[in-house]
């Protein structure tokens, strides 16, 4: 479904990604692990078209997306949930969802506002509140709901467990499971190995801009030296 | 009592047209983060087009209002074209580029209007059916004013509905907060930006069109209105439409009453109000810090002292310049003095912006204060040239000390706007205070002392002062003070965390830049023998910005190169017809083609050549 | 006598109590860790001690003198150094120049407009860089440094005025495990040698338990526990709200089993 090959990215003078290669199949949840500054967020942003100095290839359903602007990539069926949440603070919850709304897409589950309010009951209660009045956890849910309004087939989740309370982390895990049940593919970047193990099928470990490991968690657990070396474990 | 009520109504009528232009400016800024200097030009075009349409059609009620709408629509299309052809390419550029590009557009539109409508003022027709006055509490109130009072809130309500009840409006509000996120959610930002530009331009056009029954249409409308429109936007909070309305009413009503007490105040009042508001609320009445925009700049390389070869090249250039009186004619010498003045002026602005990180739209204030300080020292105090040459920079320093105290409390666009306000206040005072400054007639007969009065002697004097000033600035840049000022630009948090009172440093830096700009103004005054209010004007400030930009903001030598190229181009172009058009087009070309300035452009060209010639170079 | 006395420190944002009635003492030479879940008020606490945020109530006394209401720069002059969670350095300067700036400020020469800044306090700057293992990078542009090196540079900058108290906000965030251990060992060495006190916040429990003399645990703005590593590990409340035992926080369990 998604095939990234030889992805290079620069930011200012620094070379952040040096030939990242990864794939995500339909209906699969894949974790991109690595410590801060390893290149996880840059990889996700590069796929989304948010990094300007990039080269290589990002193929999605056979179509080359590298170099296309973010809105084209979104319309192709990729949803993006940024690490910093970036909800529109002055817009209401309902308006935030409206910004994300896109037409229905063939082969992707359709998310209506009503459906999303069912999935995130807190948001339903606060639909008339401005984004800035929400708690951190509610904001995290809103940013996911907003992305789902675009009816994506693949969702990029950047550090979904970062900076939120453990209770919300657990809720996040349930949401990702729900997305998988609906048939969506997910690529998530994560530092928390245990959270990643809980929600994903497979993992890549990225370090200094390159993929250093790929495999499933059973294999990763059998090789503690790998996580020792590349992850903050 | 009734008189005051009439005065209030006049104020409210003025507020409506001010609101129309300001809210368009605010919408454009909110969505695209572009500070559109050309917005006044759109306002002026609206007036001209409305004039043409209304006078061509027979001036019935229908014809008049059709003309208004047609003008709004036409100007909206002009705005759309501006966005599509030029500004779209600059969204990722530093804000200074966008600003200078829109100023290029101001020049282009000026000459286009001149070519189409001529230089004479045009008197528009009155609004049919609204040409009389009604008596309210016994005072005559023009019916048209009452109509205008109604139009302002009507437009505000319309925009509110548009922004809150339509998907497009929600997208615009979202983009005002975080436009990249809106893009990542599948919204084509280009479309949104174009539409915002269309709407903003159409509102400015409507504002201009509605003015034709009230004031003559002229080529001065653009810059006359733009400063005040900026003020309204800044007071209201950039990007806030409701803020623009409140600010427009505040300014216009205050003005309507203030002129009763002190008739000269109207030029200065808006700027004073803005300064007060910004010091109390650094983001305006309804503004927010807002999301960042433009590309994060490339990290700047650490300062190095010049290499041996660089020093030799520089020394050779200076020597060639100093030897030029032997071969050059008087005219060239005068040009060289202009060049030296421009270099010092640009270097002082670069120190403020490039080193200190404080972008100034009003640096001409201190250039002009210096020039007037010197001229007044000669004319009023009867000092000789020596005394006047001390008085000029001293006046610049004093001015910068006063305005800098306010300015360093702000940052970014708000700081830039406050510097603009400072310059306009000084300009307004100079323009109005005829007894002292001679007003529009300026001050004549500011000649150098007899020993320096030959072109050659004055050239050497100017060279000594200007090169000395530039050398002193360089020295400061390399000093602990200059380093820490730059550090404060890089990271205010870190500066505070190593015990630095950044504001005091910035204040001192601001004052130093003002002093040297004043020095440049002093040399200028004596070279021309006269001073006029232009030296304080927006155009002079923008000239400085263009020079810094032309040279490239990251290089210390940038402003010198930029000033050199600027003066040469100006000297050549200003002899041609429609020089504004040509000059504006050159500015646009540079901004579009060499976005890192001439120094950067040359560097890229050099790298490109090295790469294509292949051979030795490893990288 | 203790170096720092914090009493009843309170800060509200809107209706939310970010920090509520926090009191503690810090002895000379003590290495104190402040831990707790995200949003527990650690950084807010830090910012109030450092002068970046004004508390609604409470006092902070540094050697008996109340420092509440003083700006950060004044608190710095009283001998409090600071490193940041997200590094703050002067990007357009070299590594050495970054340290020189702190030295110039310390020697009160920040308004010197005549000397050549790059030639001032070179030896002192290099000594500080050597202390933090950064001497090899001295001439490099700061913008090129790797993240871990930036953290070490911040430590060198913070040591420039020979502080009595060092505030370190998540000093090892974003570093590889080996780097984390090395940086904190380095810091511990400096602390022991110079006899200064440190307060740090940290999420990596390995770092906390290895180096902290004493640990304060914050939750929802309140101080819920205080003690040595062993005491904290054994504390039922702390296990419940922070260290946890669930699937997601299993790693601390596993590591210390």
Q: What is the ipTM of this complex?
A: 0.92
The Cα of B356 is separated from the nearest Cα of chain C by a number of Å equal to 12
Instruction: Give the chain C residue nearest B496 (alpha carbons).
Output: C73
Angle between helices B502-528 and B364-379 (to 10 degrees): 50
The answer on B255 and B350 residing in a single domain is no
CA-nearest of B189, B509, B464 to B363 is: B509
Residue C175 has pLDDT above 50, yes or no: yes
C84 vs B493: CB contact, 8 Å cut-off?
Answer: yes
What's the pLDDT score for residue B17?
87
User: Does the structure show a pLDDT above 80 at A12?
Assistant: no
Residues B539, B393, single domain; the answer is yes
For chain B, helix, strand, coil in percent to 5 are 75, 0, 25
The residues, ordered by sequence, that sit 6+ positions from C56 with a Cβ below 8 Å of its Cβ are C10, C11, C12
SS3 C244: coil
Please name the helix (run of DSSP H) or strand (run of DSSP E) that holds residue B60, with its range, or none.
Answer: none
CB B170 within 8 Å of CB B31? no
Nearest chain C residue to B504 by CA distance is C111
Measured CA distances, C31 to A53, A89, B524, C187 (Å): 44, 39, 63, 10
The answer to whether residue B439 neighbours chain A at the CB level (below 8 Å) is: no
Q: Is the pLDDT of residue A230 over 90?
A: no
- CATH classification at residue B134: 1.10.3470
Q: Which of A72, A88, A97, A156 to mutate to test the interface with B (most CBs of B within 10 A)?
A: A88
Is A194's CB within 8 Å of C147's CB? no
Instruction: State residue C90's pLDDT score.
Output: 92
User: Between these two residues, A123 and C239, which has the higher pLDDT value?
Assistant: A123
Q: For residue B577, what pLDDT band results from cuts at 50, 70 and 90?
A: confident
Residue B294 confidence class, pLDDT cut points 50, 70, 90: very low
Q: Is B330 an 8 Å CB contact of chain C?
A: no
Residue B247 has pLDDT above 50, yes or no: yes
Residue among B184, B240, B296 with most chain A CBs within 10 A, to mutate: B184
Q: How would DSSP label each residue in A136-186?
A: HHHHHHHHHHHHHTT--SEEEEESTTTTS-HHHHHHHHHHHHHHHHTT-EE
CA–CA distance, A158 with A150 (Å, rounded to integer): 17
Give me the sign of the Cα torsion angle B113, B115, B118, B119: positive
Question: Is 3.40.50.300 the CATH number for A2-230?
Answer: yes
The model's confidence at residue B310, banded by pLDDT at 50, 70 and 90, is confident
Kindly report which listed range (B301-310, B583-592, C129-138) carries the lowest average pLDDT score.
B301-310
pLDDT for residue B262: 80
Q: Does B185 touch chain A (CB under 8 A)?
A: yes
pLDDT exceeds 50 at position B618: no
Mutate to test the interface with A, among C38, C43, C173, C176 (most CBs of A within 10 A): C176
Query: Same domain for B332 and B276?
Result: no
Task: State whether B245 and B358 are in the same domain.
Answer: no
How high is the pLDDT of residue A180? 94
Mutate to test the interface with B, among A45, A68, A71 (most CBs of B within 10 A): A71
Instruction: Tell me the sheet residues that pair with A58.
Output: A4
How far apart, in whole angstroms, are the C-alpha atoms of residue B213 and residue B127? Answer: 6
Q: Name the pLDDT band for C252 (thresholds 50, 70, 90).
A: very low
pLDDT score of B477 more than 50: yes
Cα separation, C43 vs C201, in Å, equals: 8
Most confident of B273-277, B509-513, B603-607: B509-513
Nearest CA to B513 among B565, B477, B561? B477
pLDDT in tens, A208-223: 888 988 988 888 888 8
C63-96 residue pLDDT tens: 989 999 899 999 999 999 999 887 889 988 999 9
Tell me the per-residue pLDDT of C93-125, one tens digit each, with 9 for 90 and over: 999 999 999 999 999 999 999 999 999 999 999
Residues 6+ apart with CB under 8 A from C248: A161, A166, A169, A170, A173, A192, A194, A195, A198
Backbone dihedral angles phi then psi of residue B43, each to the nearest 5 degrees = -60, -45
Q: Which helix (H) or strand (E) holds A11?
A: strand A2-11
**Residues A2-9: what's their mean pLDDT?**
92
pLDDT one-digit tens code per residue, A99-116 = 999 998 888 889 999 999
Closest CA to C213 of C30, C23, C4, C1: C30
Residue range C29-42, pLDDT digits in tens: 899 999 887 667 88
Continuous segment of H or E residues that includes residue A16: strand A14-24
Distance from CA of C96 to the nearest CA of B (A): 11
Question: What is the architecture of the domain spanning C1-79+164-243+252-257?
Answer: 3-Layer(aba) Sandwich (3.40)
Locate all alpha helices (DSSP H) within B33-130, ordered by sequence.
Answer: 39-56, 61-85, 95-117
Measure the CA–CA gap between B397 and B391, rounded to whole angstroms. Answer: 10
B159 pLDDT more than 60: yes
Q: Give A166's pLDDT tier (boundaries 50, 70, 90).
A: low
User: Helix A93-100 crosses helix B167-177 at what angle (to 10 degrees)?
Assistant: 100
pLDDT at site B616: 37
A88 contacts in chain B (CB < 8 Å): 173-174, 177-178, 181
Cβ–Cβ contact C173 with B under 8 A: no
Instruction: With a cut of 80, say whether residue A13 has pLDDT above it.
Output: no
How far is the C-alpha of B465 from the C-alpha of B388, rounded, in Å?
14
Q: Out of B488-492, B510-514, B578-582, C243-247, give the one with best mean pLDDT.
A: B510-514
Tokens of B213: 């029954």
Contact B185 A150 (CB under 8 A): yes
pLDDT recorded at residue C151: 87
Q: B184 and B120 share a domain?
A: yes
pLDDT at res. A164: 66
pLDDT reported for residue B263: 77
Contact C70, C51 (CB under 8 A): yes
pLDDT of A91:
92
The range of the structural domain enclosing residue B479 comes to 326-566
Confidence of residue B240 (pLDDT cuts 50, 70, 90): confident
- Distances from the Cα of C232 to the Cαs of C198, C218, C226, C248, in angstroms? 19, 12, 7, 20
Distance, CA of A4 to CA of B337 (rounded, Å): 60
What ranges do the domains of chain A cover? 2-230
pLDDT at B215 exceeding the cut of 90:
no
Q: Tell me, what's the pLDDT at C67?
A: 92
Within 8 A of A230 by CB-CB distance, chain C residues are: 176
Q: What are B86-122's pLDDT values in tens digits? A: 888 887 777 778 888 998 999 999 999 999 999 889 8
Interface check B240 vs A, CB under 8 A: no
Could you identify the residue written with the tokens 């040409």?
Answer: B131
Kindly state the tokens that stand for B546.
Answer: 């263009």
DSSP C221: T
Is B310 part of any domain? no
Domain range list for chain C? 1-79+164-243+252-257, 85-162
User: Domain tally for chain B?
Assistant: 2
Same domain, B241 and B122: yes
Q: Kindly compute the dihedral angle of the four CA atoms of residues C183, C187, C190, C191, in this order, to the nearest 10 degrees.
A: -170
Minimal Cα distance from A208: which residue of C? C146
Higher pLDDT, B247 or C206: B247
Strands A29-33, C57-62: pairing kind: unpaired
| pLDDT score of A195 | 87
Indicate whether B402 belongs to any domain: yes
Checking if the pLDDT of B579 tops 70, the result is yes
Yes or no, beta carbons of B299 and C160 under 8 Å apart: no
Instruction: With a cut of 70, say whether residue C1 has pLDDT above it.
Output: no
The alpha carbons of chain A give a radius of gyration, in whole angstroms, of 17
**Among B50-54, B555-559, B604-608, B613-617, where is mean pLDDT lowest?**
B613-617
Six token digits for residue B271: 């700027």
Contact A165 C37 (CB under 8 A): yes
| pLDDT at position C177 | 61
Bridge-based pairing of strands A154-158 and C16-26 is: unpaired
**Is A192 in Cβ contact with C37 (below 8 Å)?**
no
SS3 B76: helix
The whole-chain average pLDDT of chain B stands at 87
> Would you state the pLDDT for residue A73?
95
Residue that has been written with the tokens 């074209």 in this structure: B81
C119 vs B128: CA distance, rounded Å: 76
Secondary structure (3-state) at B507? helix
A145 and A97 Cβ atoms separated by less than 8 Å: yes
Q: State the sign of the Cα–Cα–Cα–Cα dihedral B566, B572, B575, B578.
A: negative
**pLDDT of amino acid B599:** 66
Closest Cβ opposite residue B302 in set C72, C93, C116: C93
pLDDT of B307 above 90: no
């Amino acid at each position: 479904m998604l095939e990234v090959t030889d992805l290079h990215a620069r930011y200012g003078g620094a070379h952040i990604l040096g030939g990242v290669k990864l794939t995500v199949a339909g209906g699969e949840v894949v974790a991109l692990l690595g410590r801060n500054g390893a290149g996880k967020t840059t990889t996700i942003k590069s796929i989304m078209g948010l990094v300007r100095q990039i080269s290589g290839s990002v193929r999605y359903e056979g179509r080359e997306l590298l170099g296309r602007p973010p809105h084209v990539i979104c319309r192709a069926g990729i949803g993006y949930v940024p690490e910093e949440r970036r909800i529109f603070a002055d817009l209401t919850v309902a308006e935030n969802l409206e910004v994300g709304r896109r037409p229905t897409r063939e082969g992707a589950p359709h998310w209506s506002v009503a459906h999303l309010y069912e999935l995130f009951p807190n948001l339903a209660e606060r639909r008339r509140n401005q984004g800035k009045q929400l708690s951190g956890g509610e904001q995290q849910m809103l940013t996911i709901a907003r992305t789902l309004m675009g009816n994506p087939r693949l969702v990029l989740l950047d550090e979904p467990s970062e900076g939120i309370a453990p209770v919300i982390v657990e809720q996040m895990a349930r949401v990702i499971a729900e997305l998988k049940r609906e048939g969506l593919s997910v690529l998530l970047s994560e530092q928390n190995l245990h959270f990643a193990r809980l929600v994903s099928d497979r993992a890549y470990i990225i370090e200094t801009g390159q993929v250093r490991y790929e495999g499933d968690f059973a294999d990763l657990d059998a090789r503690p030296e790998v996580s020792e070396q590349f992850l903050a474990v | 009592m009734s008189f005051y009520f009439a005065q209030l109504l006049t104020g409210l009528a003025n507020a409506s047209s001010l609101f129309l232009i300001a809210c368009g400016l605010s919408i454009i800024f909110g969505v695209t983060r572009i500070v559109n200097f050309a917005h006044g030009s759109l306002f002026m075009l609206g007036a001209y087009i409305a004039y043409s349409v209304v006078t061509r059609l027979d001036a019935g009620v229908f014809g008049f209002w059709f003309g208004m709408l047609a003008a709004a629509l036409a100007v909206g299309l002009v705005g759309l074209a501006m966005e599509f052809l030029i500004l779209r390419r600059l969204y990722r550029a530093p804000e200074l580029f966008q600003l200078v590009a829109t100023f290029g557009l101001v020049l282009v539109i000026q000459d286009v209007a001149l070519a189409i409508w001529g230089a004479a003022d045009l008197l528009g027709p009155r609004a049919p059916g609204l040409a009389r006055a009604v008596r309210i509490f016994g005072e005559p109130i023009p019916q048209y004013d009452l109509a205008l009072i109604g139009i302002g809130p009507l437009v505000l309500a319309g925009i509110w509905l548009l922004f809150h009840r339509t998907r497009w409006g929600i997208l615009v509000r979202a983009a005002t907060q975080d436009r990249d996120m809106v893009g990542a959610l599948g919204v084509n930002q280009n479309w949104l930006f174009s539409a915002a530009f269309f709407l903003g331009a159409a509102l400015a056009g409507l504002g201009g069109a509605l003015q034709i029954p009230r004031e003559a249409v002229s080529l001065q409308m653009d810059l006359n209105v733009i400063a005040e429109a900026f003020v309204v936007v800044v007071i209201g909070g950039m990007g806030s439409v409701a803020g623009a309305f409140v600010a427009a009413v505040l300014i216009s009503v205050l003005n309507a009453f203030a002129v009763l007490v002190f008739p000269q105040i109207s030029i200065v009042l808006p700027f004073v109000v803005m300064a007060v508001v910004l010091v109390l609320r650094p983001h305006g009445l309804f503004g927010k810090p807002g999301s960042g925009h433009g590309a994060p700049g490339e990290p700047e390389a650490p300062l190095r002292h010049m290499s041996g070869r660089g020093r030799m090249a520089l020394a050779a250039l200076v020597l060639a310049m100093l030897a030029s009186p032997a071969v050059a004619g008087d005219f060239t010498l005068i040009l060289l003095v202009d060049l030296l003045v421009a270099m010092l002026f640009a270097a002082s602005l670069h120190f403020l912006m490039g080193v200190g990180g404080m972008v100034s739209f009003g640096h001409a204030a201190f250039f002009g204060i210096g020039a007037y300080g010197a001229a007044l020292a000669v004319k009023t105090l009867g000092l000789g040239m020596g005394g006047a040459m001390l008085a000029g920079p001293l006046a610049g320093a004093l001015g910068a000390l006063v305005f800098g105290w306010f300015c360093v409390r702000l940052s970014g666009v708000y700081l830039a706007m406050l510097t603009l306000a400072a310059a306009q206040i000084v300009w307004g005072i100079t323009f109005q205070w005829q007894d002292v400054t001679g007003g529009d007639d300026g001050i004549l007969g500011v000649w150098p002392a007899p020993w320096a009065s030959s072109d050659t002697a004055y050239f050497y004097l100017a060279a000594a002062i200007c090169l000395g000033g530039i050398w002193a600035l360089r020295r400061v840049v390399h000093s602990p003070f200059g380093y820490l000022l730059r550090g404060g630009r890089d990271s205010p948090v870190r500066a505070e965390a190593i015990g630095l009172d950044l504001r005091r440093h910035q204040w001192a830096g601001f004052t130093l830049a003002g002093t040297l700009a004043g020095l440049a103004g002093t040399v200028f005054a004596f070279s021309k023998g006269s001073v006029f209010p232009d030296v304080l004007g927006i155009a002079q400030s923008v000239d400085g910005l263009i020079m810094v930009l032309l040279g490239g903001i990251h290089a210390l030598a940038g402003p010198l190169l930029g000033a050199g190229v600027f003066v040469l181009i100006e000297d050549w172009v200003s002899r041609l017809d429609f020089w504004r058009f040509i000059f504006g087009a050159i500015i646009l070309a540079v901004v579009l083609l060499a976005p890192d300035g001439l120094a950067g452009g040359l560097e890229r060209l050099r790298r490109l050549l090295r790469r294509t010639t292949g051979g030795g170079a490893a990288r | 006598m203790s170096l720092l006395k914090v009493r009843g420190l309170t800060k509200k944002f809107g209706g939310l109590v970010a920090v509520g009635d926090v009191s503690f003492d810090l002895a000379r030479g003590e290495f104190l860790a402040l831990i707790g879940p995200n949003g527990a008020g650690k950084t807010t606490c830090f910012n109030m001690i450092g002068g970046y945020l004004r508390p609604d109530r409470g006092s902070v006394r540094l050697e008996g003198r109340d420092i509440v209401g003083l700006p950060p720069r004044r608190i710095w002059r009283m001998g409090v150094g600071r490193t940041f969670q997200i590094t703050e350095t002067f990007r357009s300067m070299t590594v050495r120049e970054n340290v020189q700036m702190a030295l110039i400020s310390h020697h009160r020469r920040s308004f010197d407009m005549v000397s050549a800044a790059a030639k001032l306090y070179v030896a002192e700057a290099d000594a500080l860089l050597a202390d933090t293992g950064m001497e090899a990078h001295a001439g490099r542009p700061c913008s090129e440094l790797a993240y871990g090196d930036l953290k070490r540079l911040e430590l060198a900058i913070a040591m420039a005025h020979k502080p009595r108290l060092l505030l370190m906000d998540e000093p090892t965030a974003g570093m590889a495990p080996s780097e984390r251990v090395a940086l904190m060992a380095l810091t511990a060495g400096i602390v022991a040698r110079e006899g200064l006190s440190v307060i740090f916040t940290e999420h990596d429990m390995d770092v906390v338990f290895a180096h902290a003399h004493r640990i304060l645990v914050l939750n929802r703005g309140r101080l819920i526990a205080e003690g040595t590593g062993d005491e904290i590990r054994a504390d039922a409340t702390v296990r419940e709200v922070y260290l946890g035992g669930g699937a997601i926080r299993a790693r601390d369990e596993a590591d210390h089993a």
